[in-house]
Amino acid sequence: MNTARYLAAIEEADTYKRYGKVLRVVGLMIESQGPDAKIGEVCFVHTSTSKKSRILCEVVGFNNEKIVLMPYSEVTEIGPGCLVESTGKALTVKIGRGLIGKVIDPLGECLDESQLPRGLSNFLTEQSPPNPMLRPPINEPIQVGVKAIDSLLTVGKGQRIGIFAGSGVGKSTLLGMIARNSSADINVIALIGERGREVREFIEKELGGEGLKKSIVIVATSDQPALMRMKGAYTATAISEYFRDLGYQVNLMMDSVTRVAMAGREIGLATGEPPTTKGYPPSVFATLPKLLERAGTNQYGTITAFYTVLVDGDDMNEPISDTVRGILDGHFVMDRKLAERGQFPAINVLKSISRVMNQITEKDHKEVAQEIRSLMAVYEENSELIQIGAYKRGTDREIDRAISFYPKIQLFLKQDIFEYVTFEQSIQMMRDLLYGGNN
């Protein structure tokens, strides 16, 4: 038996526990004198109550040799002089196949207060994105199970898509449809900054029992501290990476990346960063690419990611929307006007794009999709003339064709929430729409 390795580990082990003490609490921040800790390390603050409880915190900065900590929970029981103990490690969560079907918090604990299953391994929540030269190219489509997406905005295995929408346009419903109907092996769903009421509704109504059987749901509600909301995104991405490295095809769904950025803004401003565009500090624009680049392909498996982006007042050019759109491999725009007209899912196909569609679809599929898009574009350009009755049939052959196909296209783009359509069926329905059912 090789004892030298164990003896060397004992020699290197630090047997001292290092403590600091709380000096002051300002807003979200705890300032302490000591202990010896680095940025990103997890510390415990021992509260002054008789229960001997402790609060988990993370080192987020330094101020004149004092340590600046941010808690993962409320700071009501902390007082001056409370002991601060360093763990010497960054945040890890327990991950394994036993988590499938569970609903957990960003620290990896079950939300229904049950015990975690055995056989899970510790995994760091912050990882580096894969080496770009070791990423295989995206060359295979994945079934999303939504007709409008599979046919006209085909998604590839390992693609990262942004779902851009205002509030109440049906983002969560669309995510639920993708989670239930997708051909991926496993779904990792992060609900960041959601209302507490919506969490159970999403799990029971949108996801359902069938969807939950192949999903892991990570929840950080809007009432939780900014660091917890931020870590929800990191934990979900780490779980996706774990399963990708085992060779799985993973769907990562994050609702929403805007609330992750807002949590980053709270942390940045509390640590004294200067506010820049719309009050967001520079660290937010540095963090987003690091987080979003972690999804995608590697040599073992794939993470196909769907990030919802809340667009304030339906403004597609606000800073977070603009930044996220520049990083991702495509975007689906959900249109309030379509939702008001009763078209669900309310995806505006003309404003949406899948940047890898041309590489992963067959020539015939591409041609049919392009034809339908061009019919929609012609109708859209002339819609005002058509609706007020100023256009006379027979004036322009293309417009006449667009008018005749318009009701069929609208019917094709509609899909009931619980309607299951395979990838092949979607493409066949699109061909039938254009060439008739006999072709």
CATH number at residue 183: 3.40.50.12240
pLDDT digits (tens, 9 = 90+) for 39-61: 889 999 988 665 568 889 999 88
Q: Within this chain, do residues 101 and 34 fall inside the same structural domain, yes or no?
A: no
In a domain, 5, yes or no: no
What's the angle, vertex CA 304, arms to CA 238 and CA 246, rounded to 5?
50
Q: Within this chain, do residues 147 and 285 fall inside the same structural domain, yes or no?
A: yes
Mean pLDDT of 135-140: 93
Do residues 191 and 259 touch, judged by C-beta distance below 8 A?
no
Residue appearing with tokens 């609900």: 191
3-class SS at 4? helix
Contacts 24+ apart (CB under 8 A), 339-342: 339/168, 339/169, 339/170
Tell me, what CATH number does 409's domain have?
Answer: 1.20.1270.330
Q: Within this chain, do residues 312 and 403 fall inside the same structural domain, yes or no?
A: no
Between the CA of residue 222 and those of 55, 215, 327, 396, what are the distances in Å? 20, 22, 26, 53
Q: Within this chain, do residues 260 and 238 fall inside the same structural domain, yes or no?
A: yes
Give the pair of three-digit tokens for residue 190: 């992060």
Amino acid at 399: I
Rounded Cα distance, 308 and 168, in Å:
12
- 41 Cβ contact list (under 8 Å, min separation 6): 58, 59, 86, 87, 88, 89, 90
Rounded Cα distance, 228 and 239, in Å:
16
- 5 Cβ contact list (under 8 Å, min separation 6): none
Q: What beta strand segments (E) does 29-111 contain?
A: 29-33, 41-46, 54-63, 66-71, 83-90, 92-95, 103-104
Q: Is the pLDDT of residue 116 over 90?
A: no
pLDDT digits (tens, 9 = 90+) for 230-251: 999 999 999 999 999 999 999 9
3-class SS at 368? helix
Rg of the chain on CA atoms, in Å: 25
Q: Within this chain, do residues 70 and 195 fall inside the same structural domain, yes or no?
A: no
Q: What is the pLDDT of residue 318?
A: 84
In a domain, 23, yes or no: yes
Q: Is the pLDDT of residue 117 over 90?
A: no
Residue appearing with tokens 């009421």: 197
Give the pair of three-digit tokens for residue 114: 């049950």
Rounded Cα distance, 201 and 380, in Å:
36
Q: Within this chain, do residues 340 and 245 fall inside the same structural domain, yes or no?
A: yes
Least confident of 27-36, 270-279, 312-321: 312-321
Residues counted in the chain: 439
State the burial class of residue 235 (Cβ atoms within 10 Å of its Cβ: 0-12, 13-18, 19+): buried
- Mean pLDDT rounded to a whole number for the chain: 89
Taking alpha carbons only, the member of 196, 154, 189 closest to residue 172 is 189
Give the pair of three-digit tokens for residue 223: 């009432």
pLDDT digits (tens, 9 = 90+) for 62-84: 888 889 999 998 877 788 888 99
Q: What is the pLDDT of residue 391?
A: 81
Give the pair of three-digit tokens for residue 240: 């996706």
Q: Within this chain, do residues 343 and 399 fall inside the same structural domain, yes or no?
A: no
pLDDT digits (tens, 9 = 90+) for 190-242: 999 988 888 999 999 888 888 899 999 999 999 999 999 999 999 999 999 99
Q: Is the pLDDT of residue 282 over 90?
A: yes
Rounded Cα distance, 368 and 205, in Å:
35
pLDDT digits (tens, 9 = 90+) for 164-180: 998 888 888 999 999 99
Rounded Cα distance, 185 and 369, in Å:
27
The strand pair at 215-221 and 103-104 is best described as parallel
In a domain, 204, yes or no: yes
Q: Within this chain, do residues 23 and 170 fall inside the same structural domain, yes or no?
A: no
Q: What is the pLDDT of residue 52?
A: 63
Tell me, what CATH number does 38's domain have?
Answer: 2.40.10.170
pLDDT digits (tens, 9 = 90+) for 402-419: 999 999 999 999 999 999
In a domain, 7, yes or no: no
Q: Within this chain, do residues 428 and 339 fall inside the same structural domain, yes or no?
A: no
Rounded Cα distance, 32 and 231, in Å:
22
Do residues 345 and 177 touch, judged by C-beta distance below 8 A?
yes
Number of domains in the chain: 3
Question: In the structure, what pLDDT confidence band is assigned to residue 271 with cuts at 50, 70 and 90?
Answer: confident
Helix (H) or strand (E) holding 186: strand 186-194
Amino acid at 250: V
Q: Among the three residues 39, 61, 90, which one is the final residue of a domain in this structure? A: 90
Q: Among the three residues 360, 383, 408, which one is the final residue of a domain in this structure? A: 360
Give the pair of three-digit tokens for residue 182: 């997708």
pLDDT digits (tens, 9 = 90+) for 304-342: 999 999 987 666 778 899 999 999 999 999 998 899 888
Alpha helices in 168-278 (DSSP H): 171-181, 196-201, 208-212, 226-245, 257-270
Q: Is the pLDDT of residue 438 over 50?
A: no
Q: Within this chain, do residues 198 and 322 fall inside the same structural domain, yes or no?
A: yes
In a domain, 2, yes or no: no
List beta partners, residue 306. 161, 253
Rounded Cα distance, 83 and 63, in Å:
18
In a domain, 189, yes or no: yes
Residue numbers of the domain that contains 132: 96-360
Q: What is the pLDDT of residue 317?
A: 76
Q: Within this chain, do residues 289 and 245 fall inside the same structural domain, yes or no?
A: yes
What one-character DSSP code corresponds to residue 188? E
Taking alpha carbons only, the member of 294, 307, 265, 257 closest to residue 282 is 265
pLDDT digits (tens, 9 = 90+) for 364-407: 999 999 999 999 999 999 888 888 888 888 788 898 999 999 99
Taking alpha carbons only, the member of 206, 217, 202 closest to residue 181 is 206
Q: Among the three residues 32, 63, 90, which one is the final residue of a domain in this structure? A: 90
Taking alpha carbons only, the member of 191, 168, 176, 175 closest to residue 314 is 168
Alpha helices in 72-131 (DSSP H): none
Amino acid at 26: V
Rounded Cα distance, 157 and 305, in Å:
9
Q: Is the pLDDT of residue 276 over 90?
A: no
In a domain, 1, yes or no: no
Q: Within this chain, do residues 163 and 311 fall inside the same structural domain, yes or no?
A: yes
In a domain, 164, yes or no: yes
